[in-house]
């Protein structure tokens, strides 16, 4: 059976609060756990009032504390924003609190614009080698190999599952070189999906932690009782994406009937291209979409993403998705 997991950006809805978004995340994680989801990830973004997961390690602790068995982690931590030692300490602490359940996905994007990056005291002058060096330094702290002369406490000897994230071929190359699992952000950056997966599998070098490649790919899933309802629910995320692309991000808006038609031909085509890795609609429609996606990618694991205005509709979508994955396993 192909494991299925969930990526939550912890959306703050229009009229909602950060406290409400965090409460929804804990509730949704418990729901995902009961449905058989393998992982529950949150991602680091900054300066965005519609996303409540900026303090990512704190949110991971919040969600892990609300659940019992599901793996919980960062998908991901944007490592250029942080000293590797600090991340080793944070995730060493999480591993001590929730042993055997913590994932640490690492990305090289800032998760913000340049103005916010400067406010975080992040240098914008870097080269292509900084991220790989930081990953290796972080691995050294967790392995307690003594290479830096500094011992991470906590962190030394901690065993969170380390992942490399990517939306291009760079992450695939790094994950392959280091012998780490790889997760591709095809839910918003589909263009390099096929090439990145091929490069990762072709160039993978076995490591002490992994003998063979393991790839996860992300897909937007908006499942409902009918195709029309699924399209309606998906319009909140579509609006949010267009707002982000046009420089006007905000809280997650309520859904709008026929939203795509309001964009015009060019806008609808752009949205359709960027969100092409999506399955939207009824159980049957979503099943076809997920089956086509897994056949295309050969993913070892499927990462489901979605942002919905209505919390109960989102829980219903996860339940339908879990049913689809169960039926696919039976068919296999």
Using alpha carbons only, how large is the chain's radius of gyration in Å? 19
pLDDT score of 41 more than 60: yes
In 144-282, which residue ranges form alpha helices assigned H by DSSP? 169-178, 193-203, 227-245, 264-274
Show the CA angle centred on residue 12, arms to residues 7 and 16, nearest 5°.
145
End-to-end CA distance of the chain: 8
Q: What is the mean pLDDT of the chain?
A: 94
Per the DSSP assignment, residues forming a β-bridge with 104 are 74, 162
**245: three-class secondary structure by DSSP:** helix
Express each pLDDT in 156-195 by its tens digit.
999 999 999 999 999 999 999 999 999 999 999 999 999 9
Q: Which two tokens stand for residue 41?
A: 């990830």
What's the average model confidence in pLDDT over 123-146?
84
Q: Which domain holds residue 59?
A: 4-331
The pLDDT confidence band at residue 109, using thresholds 50, 70 and 90, is confident
Alpha-carbon distance 166 to 107, whole Å? Answer: 7
Express each pLDDT in 215-234 by its tens digit.
999 999 999 999 999 999 99
Alpha-carbon distance 259 to 282, whole Å? Answer: 18
Express each pLDDT in 280-313 by its tens digit.
999 999 999 999 999 999 999 999 999 999 999 9
Contact by Cβ (8 Å): 22, 56: no
Show the CA angle centred on residue 323, arms to residues 10 and 41, nearest 5°.
25
pLDDT score of 72 more than 90: yes
Alpha-carbon distance 177 to 217, whole Å? Answer: 19
pLDDT score of 113 more than 80: no
For residue 21, what is the domain's CATH number? 3.20.20.30
Question: What is the count of structural domains for the chain?
Answer: 1
Give the closest residue to 73 by CA, choosing from 117, 107, 43, 45: 43
């Amino acid at each position: 059976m192909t494991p299925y997991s969930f990526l939550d950006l912890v959306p703050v809805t229009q009229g909602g609060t950060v406290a409400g978004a965090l409460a929804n995340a804990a509730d949704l994680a418990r729901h995902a756990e009961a449905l058989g989801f393998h992982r529950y990830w949150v991602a680091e973004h900054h300066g965005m009032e519609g996303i409540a997961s900026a303090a990512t390690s704190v949110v991971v602790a919040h969600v892990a504390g609300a659940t019992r068995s599901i793996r919980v982690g960062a998908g991901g931590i944007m490592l250029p924003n942080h000293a590797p030692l600090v991340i080793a300490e944070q995730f060493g602490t999480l591993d001590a609190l929730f042993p055997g359940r913590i994932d640490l996905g690492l990305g090289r994007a800032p998760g913000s614009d340049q103005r916010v990056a400067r406010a975080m005291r992040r240098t914008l002058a870097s080269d292509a080698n900084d991220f790989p060096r930081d990953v290796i330094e972080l691995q050294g702290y967790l392995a307690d190999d003594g290479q830096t002369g500094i011992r991470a406490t906590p962190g030394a000897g901690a065993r969170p599952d380390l992942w490399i994230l990517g939306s291009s071929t760079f992450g695939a190359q790094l994950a392959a070189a280091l012998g780490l699992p790889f997760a591709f952000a095809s839910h918003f950056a589909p263009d390099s999906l096929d090439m990145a997966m091929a490069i990762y599998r072709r160039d993978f070098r076995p490591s002490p932690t992994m003998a063979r490649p393991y790839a996860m790919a992300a897909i937007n899933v908006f499942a409902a009782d009918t195709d029309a309802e699924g399209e309606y629910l998906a319009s909140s995320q579509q609006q949010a994406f267009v707002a982000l692309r046009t420089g006007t991000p905000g809280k997650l808006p309520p859904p709008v009937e026929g939203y795509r038609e309001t964009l015009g031909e060019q806008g609808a085509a752009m949205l359709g291209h960027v969100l092409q890795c999506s399955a939207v609609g009824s159980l049957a429609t979503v099943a076809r979409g997920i089956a086509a996606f897994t056949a295309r990618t050969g993913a070892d694991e499927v990462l489901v993403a979605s942002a919905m205005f209505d919390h109960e509709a989102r829980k219903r979508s996860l339940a339908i998705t879990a049913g689809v994955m169960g039926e696919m396993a039976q068919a296999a």
